[in-house]
């Protein structure tokens, strides 16, 4: 494919201010910036899909964490997929589809070695969701961290989201005895049981989580996959059976809190029940990638997995898509599609 002429400028989303509590549109700035020509070993990618993720909220704070904070006045980095439009790198041709981490920008100039070529016969957006970071989080969290075994009863919070909807379906496909989930609307609860194959689900906004969980899993649970923290984690500790496991994947209920959360207040139950509560970061599990792609890819080909992305059109809507995701606007993976 012939090298394309690069535009002089492209748009980027920068962090304009650090939020205190819930982020607002004014915390982000849409900026026109020069598109850098590629140096030796570099490629220029025209992005087609961008990922907006809960962990980005943590990076908006100026605190030490497992990923460095975003810098004020700099681009919001993150997962993106697109096509190479200029290449000075061996093995990378114009038209190749690549995944990279340079985030919220229309054009990304980067060392080719920092990108991953992907098979463009699959929808590119799948590399940010079902076959990407969130899919691997679900797969590794349930199987490797949670030590899932056929016959286990599984409860997952954030169940209608990117990670949660995969956790429930993987548990079912691997032979769970019961899969229950919680989500934040009647419609999501309906989708969980009718479309995603959960045995039961409840809306956590409809009443105490512990009471609602006891109704859908009266005999208790073997694994809790925690995407939410707080009240959900406390309820799950109460419901976990002897030798139960909690996979601590996320705590989205507290990402916008300005005060430290209270609890879980019943942590001492973990002693008598010999529970294992284990934090996880997907980055520790990339060794599982080949097995993950093989097994999940097969389920996809066989039509055994229901994959739903919530796609927001237009680069200019990226910050709104991120804010919407934090408020629960998505079912499945929240993505931004850049206009043709």
- Using the rule CB under 6 A, is 252 a contact of ligand NAP? yes
Minimum distance of ligand NAP from residue 64's CB (angstroms): 17
Nearest to 203 by CA among 218, 195, 214, 213: 213
Which CB sits closer to ligand NAP, 35 or 162?
A: 162
CA–CA distance, 69 with 173 (Å, rounded to integer): 37
Which CB sits closer to ligand NAP, 87 or 331?
A: 331
Nearest to 140 by CA among 330, 288, 329: 288
Among 78, 161, 168, 244, binds ligand NAP (CB under 6 A): 161
Among 43, 75, 183, 296, binds ligand NAP (CB under 6 A): 183
- Using the rule CB under 6 A, is 60 a contact of ligand NAP? no
Side-chain-side CA neighbours of 66 within 13 Å: the count stands at 8
Minimum distance of ligand NAP from residue 60's CB (angstroms): 13
- Which stretches of 195-327 are DSSP H helices? 209-216, 230-239, 269-272, 289-301, 318-326
- Using the rule CB under 6 A, is 249 a contact of ligand NAP? yes
- Using the rule CB under 6 A, is 164 a contact of ligand NAP? yes
CA–CA distance, 131 with 300 (Å, rounded to integer): 10
Minimum distance of ligand NAP from residue 59's CB (angstroms): 11
Among 54, 78, 79, 146, binds ligand NAP (CB under 6 A): 54
- Using the rule CB under 6 A, is 134 a contact of ligand NAP? yes
- Using the rule CB under 6 A, is 325 a contact of ligand NAP? yes
Q: Strands, E, within the chain: which ranges?
A: 9-15, 28-34, 42-51, 80-87, 97-100, 107-111, 116-117, 153-156, 178-183, 200-203, 221-226, 240-248, 276-279, 309-313, 333-337
Gyration radius (Cα) of the chain, Å: 21
Among 270, 281, 288, 300, binds ligand NAP (CB under 6 A): 281
Q: Which residues bind ligand NAP (CB under 6 A)?
A: 53-55, 134, 137, 158, 160-164, 183-185, 188, 204, 227-228, 249-250, 252-253, 280-282, 325-326, 328, 330, 334
């Amino acid at each position: 494919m012939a090298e394309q002429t690069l535009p002089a400028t492209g748009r980027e989303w920068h962090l304009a201010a650090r939020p205190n509590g819930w982020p607002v549109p004014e915390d982000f700035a849409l900026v026109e910036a020069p598109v850098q020509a590629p140096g030796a070993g570099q490629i220029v990618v025209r992005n087609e899909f961008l990922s907006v993720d809960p962990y980005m909220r943590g990076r908006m704070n100026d605190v030490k964490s497992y990923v460095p904070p975003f810098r004020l006045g700099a681009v919001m980095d993150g997962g993106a997929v697109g096509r190479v439009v200029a290449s000075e790198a061996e093995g990378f041709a114009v038209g190749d589809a690549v995944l990279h981490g340079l985030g919220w920008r229309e054009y990304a100039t980067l060392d080719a070695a920092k990108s991953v070529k992907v098979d463009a016969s699959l929808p590119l957006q799948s590399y940010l969701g079902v076959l990407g970071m969130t899919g691997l989080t679900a797969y590794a969290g349930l199987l490797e961290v949670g030590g899932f075994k056929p016959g286990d009863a599984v409860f997952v919070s954030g169940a209608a989201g990117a990670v949660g909807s995969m956790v429930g379906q993987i548990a079912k496909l691997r032979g769970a005895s019961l899969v229950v989930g919680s989500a934040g609307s009647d419609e999501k609860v309906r989708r969980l049981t009718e479309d995603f194959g959960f045995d039961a689900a409840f809306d956590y906004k409809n009443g105490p989580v512990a009471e609602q969980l006891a109704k859908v899993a009266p005999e208790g649970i073997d694994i809790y996959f925690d995407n939410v923290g707080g009240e959900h984690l406390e309820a799950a500790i109460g419901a976990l059976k002897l030798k139960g496991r909690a996979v601590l994947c996320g705590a989205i209920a507290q990402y916008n809190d300005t005060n430290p959360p209270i609890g879980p207040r019943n942590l001492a139950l973990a002693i008598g029940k010999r529970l294992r509560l284990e934090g996880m970061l997907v980055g520790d599990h990339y060794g599982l990638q080949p097995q993950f792609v093989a097994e999940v890819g097969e389920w996809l080909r066989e039509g055994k997995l229901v994959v739903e992305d919530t796609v927001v059109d237009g680069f200019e809507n990226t910050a709104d898509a991120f804010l919407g995701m934090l408020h629960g606007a998505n079912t499945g993976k929240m993505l931004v599609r850049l206009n043709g």
